[in-house]
Structure 1
Amino acid sequence: MLALWLSSSQIYAQSKFRIVCVGNSITYGSGLKDRLSESYPARLQALLGSKYEVLNFGVSGATMLKKGNKPYWNTPEYQQVMNAAPDLVFIKLGTNDSKQINRAEMPGFEADYKEMIQAFKGLSTKPRVVLLLPIKAFSDEKFGISGTYLKASMIPVIQKIAYDEQLEILDLYSLFADKEALLADKIHPNATGDNFIALRLEAFLKQQTKPLKSLAAKLKTPVQVDSFYGYESLKFSFQGHEARIVQPKKVAKGMPWIWRARFWGHEPQTDIALLERGFYLVYCDVAELFGNAESIRIWNDFYASLQKMGFAKKAVLEGMSRGGVYVYNWAAANPEKVACVYADNPVLDLKSWPGGKGQGPGSKESWATFLKDYGYQTETDAMTFKGSPIDQIEAIVKGKYPMLHVCGDIDEVVPMSENSLPFAEKIKLAGGNIQIIHKPEGKHHPHSLPNPQPIVDFILKATGH
């Protein structure tokens, strides 16, 4: 009878989807009042329910480095992982490797990380392996951990590993960029912080995605393949202009995508967060045409080429600074093709910038380019220009898509008083849907938000994801 009970219980346990959490003290739950219920693996178990089994194999102080001061490789927990028959492994190591005592061994970090990945992938259960970037450390001294070194030297290597090994990677670093209050000792999250991690992992596990089929062959043009923060980027020429498509590890339903208008790779945290969620990231450089008819024609053709590859009918448009002109002028010409607009300190009146006809300094060089782009011979003629986004309110609201602006209230380059504020007022009067996230002490730079979650949530809602 006992043997029968043991057999049935083992079968029941094996029928659950087993998740293994490999990590350091943050995974273990150091500093929590009740780590058995408050650590992020424990919270993930509670969120996922009885069909899942989440095992915590975190080890305080552990390093990925085999020659580190406390190698995870040499712990009983590592052997337990190897014997756990996991279906999925989350790896969250690297924070302790940033310590001064370990830096002489850093040349071996990449090889050691890849070896551990292969060890897990070689298990009989063939688990899905997912890399977790370390959360932000708000100190260069506590416990010997250096937040500066972690960001500059550790995270890029982990992103490279994710690219080389074609593995999914989650950016917990940006997720904690504005969460210092949740790290009482500046390193370890409290119970609220651990729950925050668990919620992100739960959302990741519940994403509706399908395996990626690379688009490289469909481009029918020479393609340069490289890494965009751990994701495969396809760089090619489109009608003589640089273009890019960055592919997610797995594709969300409907092939959603975000279209970066300008300044490729600048403040990429929103782009990275959407790639995590199965969105594509695309780019077609039409600098510096300032949203004129030629730029719209090129983008129309680029959009048509993406449609042939199966991309969603409606694009998420992303415009930083002068990129605001590009996205809104294209949206005004193509209102039915826009899911939403995220604009960041956007130029919405070309007379304000680069014209410098108001409070801002403008740019003489860029203003000369504008005059050429639009065929103006004199300043007097240019003052009759009515092709800025602020002049096209009716065409923009026709699309009935939501708009989000992230703005520094003391933007010294593109004054809000001449751009986002009057634009938003006109949009609302015309029945449009727009909201502004204000950065009270913010200037023109930096763009975006350190933690892009409010932007990401807006986009996910607008696209039904």
Structure 2
Amino acid sequence: MKYIKYFIICCLCFTTNTSFAQSKIRIACIGNSITFGSGLKDRAKESYPAQLQTLLGPGYEVLNFGVSGATMLKKGNKPYWKTPEYEQALKAAANVYFIKLGTNDSKLINRPMMGDYLNDYRDMVSTLAKLQSRPRIILLLPIKAFSDEKFGISGTYLKDSIIPSIQKLAYEENLEVIDLHSVFADKEALLADKIHPNAAGDSFIAKRLYELMAQQTKPTGVAGSIPKLNLPAEKSSFYGYNCFQFKFKGRNAKIVVPKREAAGRPWIWRARFWGHEPQTDIALLERGYHVVYCDVAELFGNAEAIGIWNSFYASLQQLGFAKKAVLEGMSRGGVYIYNWAAANPKKVACIYADNPVLDLKSWPGGKGKGPGSKKEWATFLKDYGYENEAQAVAFAGSPIDKISAIVKGGYPMLHVCGDLDEVVPMAENTLPFAEKIKQAGGNISIIHKPEGKHHPHSLPNPQAIVDFILKATQK
């Protein structure tokens, strides 16, 4: 762990940019028709750059360099590179550049050139980085397109090809990247033509960019930029962010580092199913949170699992992480986060649980209406030292049995649950658990998915989850 500590210290070295001495902070918005404000009644006031200007106020100058139909591809059907707006954007020498290009590159006519997309994007970033203003460059993932045909734009191609390319560039060039795609996952009603947002839709973009500009963060530097750093860790991309994987007490562990760190070094601890439905983790990385993981599968939250996590927590404290963790548990991950929280109630900032297992007799035991799992139940018996089924009847080590210990922390809890969960029935897990928590004076809320089953977890747009976490950690 000492090497990991050295890595974090190196990663957190601050960098500063030299900018022109000017009275206002200048922001340039490079993009396509969505940036331009196509289809809006009054684009001068309703486009997201215009709304961002209103939110930021007189200390900022927000410039709109959007071009309808523009592509990032130099050989695309309408290259942004060949427009007057691009020349104007360069001459603006802004302090911040938001780049939102890629939607038109998804058109069938442009796909033969897609092999150039990443390098063309890299060339634009390189050109902007060399400006005398030494700007902060932020990549914007395209908003969700709810069609594969309108205007030739393919929402499927955007998701499967364009967005991964942008995230790859963000990883390779250590650039900030904002996930506007998830922001619009539940906003089809705001896109009358399935592609372009109305004024209300643009306000969501403006608000997200405003939050980014308003948040007090500090650069974490270029992780991995020191080639002689002797780290027993493998570096890879986690949706554009540096993810370091290493061994901790023989277990796989990971730390994902944000591009800019929030005050107090907040973090979210993923219990199980690394990378599954990652939208909440990505949204928190954007906001300066670290994401961590320490695999204790499959110990079902027993004393050994708690001991490993206690040691991992202590190591993270040596690295300066916040004293209170945000705990995230999907499915059986609920057992891990709540059993650890019961043992460490004062080390928890809040809990986000998603279709969580809260009674091991329900799952994997299958002692109620759910199907359970014979294989996992056999593992459970071994983990807790039971020699046979009869001995396990008296088991009282599930989260639902630890209510008094859990509420001692005074932290809020949020459950996101499918009302039709066929694997981990709510009636045997979240519902009785929540009732007991409330009776004990605890703070718990539930987001119901009326038609939801056990999968998929999370929410397509994780904003409600993120708002809950931010409120709990930014007191």
Q: Under a length normalisation based on structure 1, what TM-score does the superposition of the two structures give? A: 0.96
1:70 equivalent to 2:62? Answer no
Please say which of residues 220-229 and 250-259 is displaced more in the overlay.
Answer: 220-229
| Contact 2:327–2:350 under 8 Å retained in 1 | yes
1:397 equivalent to 2:397? Answer no
Q: Secondary structure at the match of 2:394?
A: coil
1:228-243 aligned at under 5 Å gives the runs: 228-243=238-253
Taking the aligned partners of 1:221 and 1:290, their CA distance within structure 2 comes to 31
* Off by >3 Å, runs of 4+ in structure 1: 213-217
Structure 2's unaligned 5+ residue stretches are 1-19
Match of 1:112 in 2: 120
2:359 to 349, 353, 361: 349
Q: Secondary structure at the match of 2:92?
A: coil
1:209 equivalent to 2:217? Answer yes
Taking the aligned partners of 2:242 and 2:365, their CA distance within structure 1 comes to 38
Match of 1:409 in 2: 419
| Contact 2:419–2:448 under 8 Å retained in 1 | yes
| Contact 2:73–2:120 under 8 Å retained in 1 | yes
1:131 equivalent to 2:165? Answer no
Match of 2:54 in 1: 46
Q: Secondary structure at the match of 1:283?
A: strand
Give a deviation string over 1:192-248, Cα, whole Å, max 9, x none: 00011001000000111112157889x985010110000000100000000000000
Match of 1:249 in 2: 259
| Contact 2:223–2:242 under 8 Å retained in 1 | no
Structure 1 residues 294 and 151, CA gap change in structure 2 (3 angstroms): same
1:140-155 aligned at under 5 Å gives the runs: 140-155=148-163
Shift of 1:181: 0.5
Aligned sequence identity (%): 74
Match of 2:111 in 1: 103
1:147-166 aligned at under 5 Å gives the runs: 147-166=155-174
1:339 equivalent to 2:336? Answer no
Q: Secondary structure at the match of 1:83?
A: helix
2:437 to 427, 430, 434: 427
Structure 1 residues 266 and 385, CA gap change in structure 2 (3 angstroms): same
Match of 1:21 in 2: 29
Taking the aligned partners of 2:139 and 2:377, their CA distance within structure 1 comes to 46
Taking the aligned partners of 1:300 and 1:196, their CA distance within structure 2 comes to 40
1:312-331 aligned at under 5 Å gives the runs: 312-331=322-341
Taking the aligned partners of 1:351 and 1:14, their CA distance within structure 2 comes to 65
Match of 1:83 in 2: 91
AA aligned to 1:229 is: Y
Match of 2:13 in 1: none
| Contact 1:214–1:247 under 8 Å retained in 2 | no
1:276 to 282, 286, 308: 286
Taking the aligned partners of 1:86 and 1:403, their CA distance within structure 2 comes to 42
| Contact 1:267–1:448 under 8 Å retained in 2 | yes
Taking the aligned partners of 2:77 and 2:356, their CA distance within structure 1 comes to 48
Taking the aligned partners of 2:241 and 2:29, their CA distance within structure 1 comes to 23
Q: Under a length normalisation based on structure 2, what TM-score does the superposition of the two structures give? A: 0.94
AA aligned to 1:253 is: A
Taking the aligned partners of 1:461 and 1:14, their CA distance within structure 2 comes to 35
2:100 to 86, 89, 92: 92
2:68 to 60, 65, 75: 60
Structure 1 residues 395 and 221, CA gap change in structure 2 (3 angstroms): farther
Q: Secondary structure at the match of 1:458?
A: helix
| Contact 1:32–1:39 under 8 Å retained in 2 | yes
Structure 1 residues 213 and 67, CA gap change in structure 2 (3 angstroms): closer
Shift of 1:18: 0.4
Taking the aligned partners of 2:216 and 2:403, their CA distance within structure 1 comes to 36
1:30 to 38, 43, 52: 38
Q: Secondary structure at the match of 1:56?
A: strand
What is the alpha-carbon root mean square deviation over aligned residues? 1.4
Match of 1:9 in 2: none
Taking the aligned partners of 2:27 and 2:266, their CA distance within structure 1 comes to 28
1:309 equivalent to 2:315? Answer no
1:287 equivalent to 2:287? Answer no
Structure 1 residues 214 and 324, CA gap change in structure 2 (3 angstroms): farther
Taking the aligned partners of 2:449 and 2:193, their CA distance within structure 1 comes to 27
Taking the aligned partners of 1:63 and 1:13, their CA distance within structure 2 comes to 33
1:262 to 269, 272, 282: 272
Taking the aligned partners of 2:366 and 2:392, their CA distance within structure 1 comes to 12
| Contact 2:174–2:222 under 8 Å retained in 1 | no
Shift of 1:60: 0.2
Taking the aligned partners of 1:233 and 1:324, their CA distance within structure 2 comes to 24
| Contact 2:271–2:336 under 8 Å retained in 1 | yes
Shift of 1:14: 3.6
Taking the aligned partners of 2:283 and 2:433, their CA distance within structure 1 comes to 28
Give a deviation string over 1:24-50, Cα, whole Å, max 9, x none: 000000000000000000000011111
Shift of 1:383: 1.2
Taking the aligned partners of 1:138 and 1:85, their CA distance within structure 2 comes to 35
| Contact 2:419–2:451 under 8 Å retained in 1 | yes
Higher relative contact order (CA 8 A, sep 6+): 2
Match of 2:455 in 1: 445
AA aligned to 2:126 is: Q
AA aligned to 2:344 is: N
AA aligned to 1:267 is: E
Give a deviation string over 1:254-302, Cα, whole Å, max 9, x none: 0000000000000000000000000000000000000000000000000
Taking the aligned partners of 1:45 and 1:150, their CA distance within structure 2 comes to 28
Report the count of equivalent residues. Answer: 453
Taking the aligned partners of 2:268 and 2:366, their CA distance within structure 1 comes to 30
